[in-house]
Structure 1
Amino acid sequence: MAVELNHTAVHARDKHLSAEFLATILGLEVGAPFGPFIPVDTGNRVTLDFYEDPDLTFVPQHYAFLVPEEEFDTMIARLEVLGVTYYADPHHTDPGRVNRLFGGRGAYFADPDGHNMEIITRPYTRVVPG
């Protein structure tokens, strides 16, 4: 069996707010609470488990989502409806624009806790040595 990512904890100040935000943008569903977590399942069997600790000081992380080309514009529209600025670059210096890397489209935006979220329509290609 190949090694696969199964789930990861996403630290949040308000786990319900953060899970709902991401699920809304990506067109996913928030799952039933699982212990201290609020899960959001992705299409490739990876679960994001939102974990709340309002007193926690955490370093914002980066989460990238490969999304269908035909859903990309809908996701951008959802960001716009919510008043969330999206960017063409990971440093958030090119607002209101998307990038066209690797023949696809991509955009970055911050979630309510400052995590740097990315949506892309094509995976990044990597040169594998050997």
Structure 2
Amino acid sequence: MAVELNHTIVAARDKKLSAQFLADILGLEVAPQYGPFMPVPIPNGVTLDFADASGPIPAQHYAFLVSEDDFDAIFARIREAGLAYWADPHHTRPDEINRNDGGRGTYFEDPNGHNLEILTRPYGSGTD
């Protein structure tokens, strides 16, 4: 049996703002609202469904595997937006990218404090 992740719900203080933030940074489009959700379809068939949440929002981690060219474009948008970014998930190496597995990666936060990551090589796929 083939199992594929189809969608996941992303808690947000403002689902429209959060969905648009992610779409803008990654160069994607926000789909029309579906019920209580603001969907952001990812090209591999997974959809991130942003939903308004009340109360504290626990930070989640979302990692996006991108091409080298897409990394350059996304990273430029991160810098143009004045977003803080780090080379590591614990945010101890600010204003750096990593070179894990022979690729490039960086972490940044969305408006809800979710830890977002772009990387060009899956972890464990190459050399450090």
Question: Could you tell me the TM-score, scaled by structure 1's length?
Answer: 0.92
Distance 2:65 2:72 in 1: 14
CA separation in 1, counterparts of 2:67 and 2:28? 13
Which residue number in structure 1 is paired with residue 81 of structure 2? 82
Aligned partner of 2:38 in structure 1 is: 38
**Maintained 8 Å contact 2:57/2:112:** no
Aligned residues: 125
Mapped to 2, the partners of 1:73 and 1:125 lie a distance apart of: 22
Distance, in Å, in 2 between the alignment partners of 1:80 and 1:124 is: 24
Superposed CA RMSD in Å reads 1.1
Which residue number corresponds to residue 49 of structure 1?
A: 49
1:25 alignment partner AA:
I
The residue number in structure 1 matching 2:25 is: 25
Instruction: Return structure 1 stretches of 4+ with deviation > 4 angstroms.
Output: none
- Structure 1 Cα separation of the partners of residues 55 and 111 of structure 2: 15
- TM-score between the two structures when normalised by the length of structure 2: 0.94
- Counterparts of 2:119 and 2:31 in 1: how far apart (Å)? 24
Gaps spanning 5+ residues in structure 1: where?
Answer: none
Which residue in the other structure is 2:71 paired with? 72
Paired-residue identity, %: 61
Deviation per CA, 1:14-42: give whole Å up to 9, x if none: 00111111111111100000000000011
Spell out, residue by residue over 1:97-122, the C-alpha distance to the aligned partner (whole angstroms, 9 max, x if none).
10000111000001000000000001
- Partners of 2:55 and 2:48 lie apart in 1 by 18
- CA-to-partner distance for each residue in 1:37-77, whole Å, 9 max, x for gaps? 00001111000000012x23221100000011111111111
